[in-house]
Amino acid sequence: MSLSIESGVAVPMRDGVTLATDLWRPAGNGPWPVLLTRTPYGRTSTAHLGNPKLPDLRVLADHGYLVAVQDVRGTGDSPGLLEPHRFDQSDTVDTLAWLAGQVWCDGRAGMWGASYMGFPQWQAATQAPPVLRAIAPLMTSADPYRAWHSAQGALAQGTLLNWSARMAMANLSRQEIDGPSAEIRGALGDADQLIGRRDAIVRGLPWLGEMLAHPDYDAYWQSRSALERSAAITVPAFNLTGWYDVFAREVVRSYTTMRRSGGSTAAREGQRLVIGPWGHGDGADLGVFPDRSFGLAGSVKAAAITQAHLRFFDRWVKGHDDTGTGARVRIFVMGVDQWRDEDDWPLPGTRYEDHFLHSAGRANSSAGDGRLHRTPAVEDRSDSFSDDPRHPVPTVGGATLGVDGLAGPTDQADVELRDDVLCYTGESLEAPLEVTGHVTLTVHVSSTAADTDVTGKLVDVFPDGRAIILCEGICRMRYRSSLRRPQPLEPGEIVEATIELGVTSNVFRPGHRIRLEVAGSDFPRYDRNPTAGGRVTVNRIFHGPRHPSRLTVPVIARTA
């Protein structure tokens, strides 16, 4: 490699602010196509060089791309105050225009980057700047609402507040204030404290209160969603996530939305999707977790992320033919622990199979001893569970941000011992059963409160007793029909709600069992429902001929 680095170039924005940018130049004199990434985590961070979930920028530059790495406004050496999403679009479009105007740029550009670095890519793509030919948003969301909330309305406390704490500390450090750091950290530990302590933390993160003031999917969020403007996006995207990534279902939703309604043939046909057995945070990319290992094939390195990016950018930025660009969809199938190429997502030929909830032989059971059967119960029964905000059901693994070490395929055995968690378990399987796709839970539920949460987890029960989480979801019941128009419950009234439990790919091996967990909280992955005012809520799940509550799983015929 023979690279040169021009550090701290001041790139001007339309309002006169200049953003610090490093330029990694390939050997030679150019002109070259450009690959841009914009980060709030510091453009000089070694994460850009050594994180296996990201392409190695040195390899990108050696392959004939000029690589630009920029501190977003209000971070690193770029002036101002970080305000998430406010300047993502305009600053990215201005940066691309500046790059296109340089003599060493050949007029073609792509973008890449994970997590927050994906937001600017999607926002810029809605403006369709001529220089932008392709994007590679990894482990991110094209809809900021669903980055910070669940798919059905609960605040993603473990994501928003952990990330906010990190950025608030950076803001205070940059401003060299003796700000209320301890108070910020304390308040960010619990969403319930934010309202009362908002004045104390406003200097560190003034934008957080604005976000929390919009719990519904209203105009504030809709204006920030790239997927609301998918028809304006004309560039293809390389989408990558992990089954235990906090943004897994959102990466998949970006892919399926663009396949359906992207604004050009390239945007629709050029979509690529890669999903491995990984989490979001650092260290969750080896395919090895305390309660479950996926072997050497499950590591990010085995997925050859840099080479996949090069094939994608060579096709769409440099304009090479698409020979050897790989399958449209590549997934790691857990259970058999193998990579597999697929034609599309959802997988063609998917069959959706219902597993109905049954009580374990006695009416109005409140114990976690329910059953799953392929046929509905012949008698109407119900199971109850309480939701005590003082003692919420703890998050144990799953698709979390991972900064607290909780992400991944973790054993749920201790959680299942709680008397506020209902468990419904299928019979021991005699043959392999592959479940790949979107999982849902349809419940008929009543509550003593005007609003409550219902959570669901799909679990793989191993013959040795381990109960390994595969995917999960939560519905804040006032959003059961619409995120835009909340509808309170009538206490005691039975309503139907379908809960999105996310995406997975897993072969349940012979001797394994399918299990569903149902509860009223999953904390701190999601915040505690504030509606009950700290009081205990009693919820009831109904099942039988009149109320066919059921788990629906996407079944694939082959298992190899």
Which has the closest alpha carbon to 325: 309, 338, 304?
Answer: 309
User: Apex CA 34: angle with CA 282 and CA 275, to 5°?
Assistant: 35
CA distance 433 to 441: 18
* pLDDT confidence band for 301 (50 / 70 / 90): confident
- In the predicted model, what is the mean pLDDT of residues 472-480? 98
CA distance 242 to 145: 20
Q: Enumerate residues 6+ apart whose C-beta is below 8 A from 308.
A: 238, 272, 274, 326
Based on the fold, state whether residues 378 and 472 are members of the same structural domain: yes
Residue 374 pLDDT exceeds 60: yes
- For 121, counting Cβ atoms within 10 Å of its Cβ (0-12 exposed, 13-18 middle, 19+ buried), the class is buried
Based on the fold, state whether residues 337 and 356 are members of the same structural domain: no
> Quick one: pLDDT at residue 200?
46
Beta-strand runs (E) in 479-544:
495-508, 513-519, 537-543
Domain closes at, from 176, 192, 214:
214
Which has the closest alpha carbon to 409: 240, 510, 286?
Answer: 286
Contact 359, 370 (CB under 8 A): yes
* pLDDT confidence band for 284 (50 / 70 / 90): low
Q: Residue 319, Cβ neighbours under 10 Å: how many?
A: 10
- In the predicted model, what is the mean pLDDT of residues 228-238? 98
User: Apex CA 372: angle with CA 369 and CA 378, to 5°?
Assistant: 100
State the CATH number of the domain containing residue 536: 2.60.120.260
Based on the fold, state whether residues 29 and 50 are members of the same structural domain: yes
Domain closes at, from 172, 198, 214:
214
- Long-range Cβ contacts of 218-226 (<8 Å, 24+ apart): 218/484, 221/143, 221/144, 221/145, 224/85, 224/123, 224/143, 224/144, 224/145, 225/142, 225/143, 225/144, 225/145, 226/122, 226/123, 226/125, 226/126, 226/142, 226/143
Residue 187 pLDDT exceeds 70: no
* pLDDT confidence band for 532 (50 / 70 / 90): confident
Half-sphere exposure (Cβ direction) of 118: Cα atoms closer than 13 Å:
24
387 is catalytic: no
Based on the fold, state whether residues 254 and 111 are members of the same structural domain: yes
Q: What length is written for the chain?
A: 560
Domain closes at, from 342, 362, 397:
342
> Quick one: pLDDT at residue 407?
83
> Quick one: pLDDT at residue 177?
43
Based on the fold, state whether residues 302 and 444 are members of the same structural domain: no
CA distance 144 to 162: 16
> Quick one: pLDDT at residue 403?
59
Contact 274, 255 (CB under 8 A): no
Give the end-to-end CA distance of the chain in Å, rounded to a whole number. Answer: 41
Contact 502, 399 (CB under 8 A): yes
- What is the crossing angle of helices 118-125 and 88-100, to 10°? 80
**Count of structural domains within the chain:** 3
* pLDDT confidence band for 240 (50 / 70 / 90): very high
CA distance 427 to 423: 13
Contact 39, 113 (CB under 8 A): yes
Q: What's the chain's average pLDDT?
A: 90
Q: Enumerate residues 6+ apart whose C-beta is below 8 A from 474.
A: 150, 152, 154, 453, 454, 455, 456, 499, 522, 526
Based on the fold, state whether residues 180 and 125 are members of the same structural domain: no
Q: Exactly one of 88, 245, 420, 460 is catalytic; which is it?
A: 245
Q: Which residues of 499-516 are buried (b: 16+ CB within 10 A; e: fewer)?
A: bbbbbbbbbbbeebbbbb
Q: Exactly one of 78, 85, 115, 358 is catalytic; which is it?
A: 115
- In the predicted model, what is the mean pLDDT of residues 176-192? 49
48 is catalytic: no
Place of tokens 């961070």: 45
Q: Residue 419, Cβ neighbours under 10 Å: how many?
A: 10
- In the predicted model, what is the mean pLDDT of residues 469-489? 97
* pLDDT confidence band for 559 (50 / 70 / 90): very low
Based on the fold, state whether residues 389 and 500 are members of the same structural domain: yes
Highest mean pLDDT among 151-165, 180-194, 365-379, 503-517: 503-517
Highest mean pLDDT among 190-199, 355-364, 439-448: 439-448
How large a percentage of the chain has pLDDT more than 90?
77
* pLDDT confidence band for 362 (50 / 70 / 90): very low
Alpha-carbon torsion angle 305, 242, 407, 497, nearest 10: 160
> Quick one: pLDDT at residue 190?
54
Based on the fold, state whether residues 520 and 420 are members of the same structural domain: yes
* pLDDT confidence band for 205 (50 / 70 / 90): confident
> Quick one: pLDDT at residue 556?
97
3-state secondary structure at position 381: strand
DSSP-derived letter for residue 222 is H
3-state secondary structure at position 456: strand
369 is catalytic: no
- In the predicted model, what is the mean pLDDT of residues 506-523? 98
Based on the fold, state whether residues 361 and 232 are members of the same structural domain: no
- What is the crossing angle of helices 157-175 and 181-188, to 10°? 170
Structure tokens at 535: 């009081």
CA distance 395 to 158: 10
Helix or strand run (H / E) with residue 494: none
Q: What is the pLDDT of residues 76-92, one digit of tens each?
A: 999 988 899 999 999 99
Highest mean pLDDT among 183-197, 319-333, 380-394, 402-416: 380-394
* pLDDT confidence band for 174 (50 / 70 / 90): low
* pLDDT confidence band for 363 (50 / 70 / 90): very low
Based on the fold, state whether residues 69 and 127 are members of the same structural domain: yes
- Higher pLDDT residue, 532 or 430? 430
What letter represents residue 467's amino acid? Answer: A
Based on the fold, state whether residues 125 and 161 are members of the same structural domain: no
Based on the fold, state whether residues 127 and 264 are members of the same structural domain: yes
Mean pLDDT is lowest, of 52-56, 67-71, 123-127, 260-264, for 52-56
Residue 193 pLDDT exceeds 60: no
Q: Exactly one of 149, 280, 309, 358 is catalytic; which is it?
A: 280
- Higher pLDDT residue, 69 or 532? 69
Q: What is the pLDDT of residues 392-422, one digit of tens each?
A: 999 999 998 875 556 899 999 999 999 999 9
CA distance 34 to 101: 12
State the CATH number of the domain containing residue 89: 3.40.50.1820
Q: Which domain holds residue 511?
A: 351-556
DSSP string, 546-560: SS--EEEEEEES---
- In the predicted model, what is the mean pLDDT of residues 441-469? 97
Q: Enumerate residues 6+ apart whose C-beta is below 8 A from 219.
A: none
- Long-range Cβ contacts of 46-51 (<8 Å, 24+ apart): 47/282, 51/114, 51/282
> Quick one: pLDDT at residue 201?
53
* pLDDT confidence band for 51 (50 / 70 / 90): confident
Strand pairing class (433-447; 537-543): antiparallel
How large a percentage of the chain has pLDDT more than 70?
88
